[in-house]
Every structure is written in structure tokens, then in C-alpha cells.
Structure 1
Amino acid sequence: MPGEEQQNAVWLKLPTFWTTQPQVWFKQAEAQFHIRQITADDTRYYYVVSALDQNTAGRIIDYLREPPVGNKYKGIKTLLNTTFGLTRQERAAKPLHMDGLGDRKPSELMNEMLALMEGHKSCLLFEQIFLEQMPEDIRLLLAQDTFTDP
């Protein structure tokens, strides 16, 4: 009918929220919102709520009981990232206390360390911390490389 708003139902099932990597989870959720052209704040908020497990929802129950009138999605995103994400100090300390390469490839370790930097540029100290995680034979090979693009 003329003058009535048409609403299109969009089906989306987000994976259960990842408490160990909330920022990565939100990147995936936002990719799904973009693909399905979901822009409404309430819709995004309720999709996020539907992806919370019992323990996670219990940790933020006060917010769920009384979400703000506007910016619900931004609010829950900030709350979940603050509650479950690493602090700046934790992100800085983690590379210093890694247990070496383990069964990962050097590129996998580099990606993990870069993710902790959240967009900050690599520096000489970062490169040295990375090299310190390598077994000695690999460290000797990599020490000759210039890390212009980690």
C-alpha cells in the first residue's frame, strides 16, 4: 500500500560470540551485515544478542535488560570488546611472554603478533621480539632479512 514502510526479512545466523577474539568476531559479523545490507541499529543489535551463549549473556545482563534507546549495536559492541578483549597493556605484554614458535609456521606467529598491534606499525623492537620466538636455526636465517613488510 502507498505510504506504508516495507520491511524485508533477512535471515542471518551469526556464529556464537567468540569471547577469546571479540574483535575478529565483530569483523565477521559486520561482513555478514554488509553482504545482507543490514544497516538498522536494532536489527544488528538483536543479531548480536542472538549470538551470545548463556555465560556471555549473563556477564552483560544489565545491558541486555535495559539497552539504550539509540546506538544499541555500538553500545553492545563496545561493551563486549571491553569485557572480553585484551587491554592495551595485555596486548603489549603478550608478545613478550609467548612460548616460541611451537607447531606454527613463522608467518602464523607473525600474523598473531600483528593482530595484537591493532594497526600499529611494526618497529625494530617488534621484529626482535618476533625473532626471539624462533628456534635458533630459523632465527639465524631470518636475522638477515629486512622486515619492510611483515
Structure 2
Amino acid sequence: MASNIPPFNPTNTKIWFIQLQAIFDAKRVTSQRARYCYLVEKLPLEVVEEVTDFLENVPEERPYDTLKQAILQRTGVSNEAMLRNLFTQVELGNRTPSQLLRHMKALLGDDKMKSLWLGKLPPTTKQILAPMSEDTVTEKLADIADRIHESSWSRQVYAHQRQPD
């Protein structure tokens, strides 16, 4: 079972725990104690050092949930740091608009990413999406933005190919 668990992800601990939960569900591991043991087995030394107090005194009730919460609090990136990262580091780059939205949601774990996400899009795309953004589900907007992105990229390639040497 432990070989199915991916290596600990210090970049986004929350997502790693989501993966872990899916593995536990698929393998029908429901015991808090068993989950706790699998978790401890996969923790890197630097995380073990952060939660040694929980490892030396295993809680009788809900050991997995208690350790998980401690790991998230002690090793996870704070929401403030993730917001700072979103505003300074995260850009559209080579992603499609919908990939950018999913990445931003994964960083914060928050469904209210619409305005932040729209702010990262090219101005033309924002202008097209603005009239529909209040009444449209974010994922639908992302699909529309992808089509806008594809068509503008295609026009850029076509314009570049048609320029005389």
C-alpha cells in the first residue's frame, strides 16, 4: 500500500493530502491508526522534525486527522504567502486560461478565484469576458477564454507567416 502513496509534496501539501485521501478511499483504508502509520512512513525527515511531538505521543483519538492538521499548519505555505505568490509569480505564460485558473485554485484551494484569474488574462480577453463574467460559472468562462486564446494565437502565427522577408 505505501508504495502507492506519492512522495510528500512540500510545494502544495494540501493537494498531496487530497491524493492521499483518494488512495485511502480506493484501497478502503478507513482506520485512523492505519492511515496514521502510512502517513508517517511517507514523511520526509524535515517534516518529521516539525511534528515530532505528535509522533512521540500518538493521540488515542483520530491520530491521522490530528497529525494531518499539524502537518498542514506547520509545513504548509500560509494563505498570505500563496496570495503573494499569485500576485507576483503566477502568470499566464504557456498555459491556457483554463489551466491558469486550475493552477490558481490549486494554490489557494478557493473557488473564489474569478477576479484574480481574470486579472491575469490579456486585456482583449478580459474585455470579451467582462459582460458575461458575473452570470457565468468560472469554468465556463475558462472554456471561452481558451477559445479566445487559441484564435488570437492562431492569428498571431498567421500574421507572422504572412510578413514578407
Whether TM exceeds 0.5 here: the answer is yes
For the 8 Å contact 2:86–2:104, the answer to whether it is kept is yes
Deviations 1:76-135 (A, max 9, x none): 110111122233434444433344212211111111223345354x3xxx5343222123
Separation of aligned partners in 2, 1:15 and 1:131: 33
TM-superposed CA distance for 1:40, in Å, is 1.1
Quote the residue 2:137 is aligned against: 149
Quote the residue 1:5 is aligned against: none
Partner letter of residue 61 of structure 1? T
Partner letter of residue 116 of structure 2? I
Residue 116 of structure 2 corresponds to residue 129 of structure 1? yes
SS of residue in 1 equivalent to 2:72: helix
SS of residue in 2 equivalent to 1:143: helix
Comparing 26-35 with 85-94, greater Cα deviation is found at 85-94
CA RMSD in angstroms comes to 2.3
2:77 to 86, 94, 101: 86
Highest RCO, 1 vs 2 (Cα 8 Å, sep ≥ 6): 1
Separation of aligned partners in 2, 1:27 and 1:82: 16
The two structures have a TM-score, normalised by structure 1, of 0.75
**Where do 5+ consecutive residues of structure 2 fail to align?**
139-165
Separation of aligned partners in 1, 2:46 and 2:105: 29
For the 8 Å contact 1:20–1:84, the answer to whether it is kept is no
For the 8 Å contact 2:2–2:41, the answer to whether it is kept is no
The two structures have a TM-score, normalised by structure 2, of 0.69
Separation of aligned partners in 2, 1:117 and 1:26: 14
**Where do 5+ consecutive residues of structure 1 fail to align?**
1-10
Partner letter of residue 75 of structure 1? T
1:26 to 17, 36, 48: 17
Comparing 79-88 with 18-27, greater Cα deviation is found at 79-88
2:88 to 97, 100, 106: 97
Count of matched residue positions in the alignment of Structure 1 and Structure 2: 136
